[in-house]
Amino acid sequence: MQVVNEAVALAEDVTSSHFKYSSSQWRRSRYDIRTIGQLQGQEITDRAFAQIIRYMGQPPSSHLSSSRFDFYKVCLQDHTILQALSRDPRLDFFPLMVYIVTHELVHIVRFSRFIQSFEAYPEDRVQEEARVHSLTGAILDTARVSGIEAIVRAYRESPDSLGIPLDQMAKGA
Ligand SMILES: [Zn+2]
């Protein structure tokens, strides 16, 4: 968990500076990052390293529909990540976590700036996934994380080069 927390902190740092987000803007994009012990039911999948579930949030103090907001839960699939680490000698845990979390944050920035619609995501998936990998690679090129180059390179070759899609999206109930 310590490694995951460090990876999340680094990913937030490089992503927010890339998009020139202030910390208050960053706090307004509402998301949470969770590992498998904190997931349930449809939040768990065997078909990706991570899954973004969009939930509708509402402040407890308000019942106005205008106060509703999108809330993104990044569900890290520890079991598929560990399987990839054991079958692929190019991969190390920390750089892989940094890559995955940065990639998910890029998706969330693009959803929350309405550059990409969550609703349209299934149809646009292939193109959007390629764009997000390319942005993730550009962000991480300067991050000086040992072992990250191999992962950036693998994803530049193909979004499937680690044997499983990086992520998938779903709507929360
Ligand atoms: Zn993705």
pLDDT tens per residue across span 119-166: 877 778 889 999 999 999 999 998 889 999 999 999 999 988 899 999
Residue 64 tokens, joined: 């106005």
pLDDT given at position 156? 93
58 C-alpha to ligand 1 centroid (Å): 26
121 C-alpha to ligand 1 centroid (Å): 10
Out of 43-47, 61-65, 68-72, 112-116, which region has the weakest mean confidence (pLDDT)? 61-65
5 C-alpha to ligand 1 centroid (Å): 20
92 C-alpha to ligand 1 centroid (Å): 20
pLDDT digits (tens, 9 = 90+) for 6-47: 999 999 999 999 998 877 777 777 899 999 889 999 999 999
- Whether 162 and 150 have beta carbons less than 8 Å apart is answered as no
pLDDT given at position 6? 96
Out of 5-19, 62-76, 80-94, which region has the weakest mean confidence (pLDDT)? 62-76
14 C-alpha to ligand 1 centroid (Å): 17
40 C-alpha to ligand 1 centroid (Å): 21
pLDDT given at position 30? 87
Cα four-point dihedral sign 11, 41, 124, 152: positive
CA distance 101 to 119: 22
pLDDT given at position 59? 76
17, exposed or middle or buried, with CB in 10 Å at 0-12, 13-18, 19+? exposed
Strand, helix or coil for residue 41: helix
Above 90 in pLDDT, residue 60? no
131 C-alpha to ligand 1 centroid (Å): 9
pLDDT given at position 115? 81
Strand, helix or coil for residue 167: strand
107 C-alpha to ligand 1 centroid (Å): 7
60 C-alpha to ligand 1 centroid (Å): 31
119 C-alpha to ligand 1 centroid (Å): 15
Q: List 52's β-bridge partners, or say none.
A: 74, 169
pLDDT digits (tens, 9 = 90+) for 95-127: 999 999 999 999 999 988 878 888 877 778 889
CA distance 26 to 41: 28
Rg of the chain, C-alpha, whole Å: 16
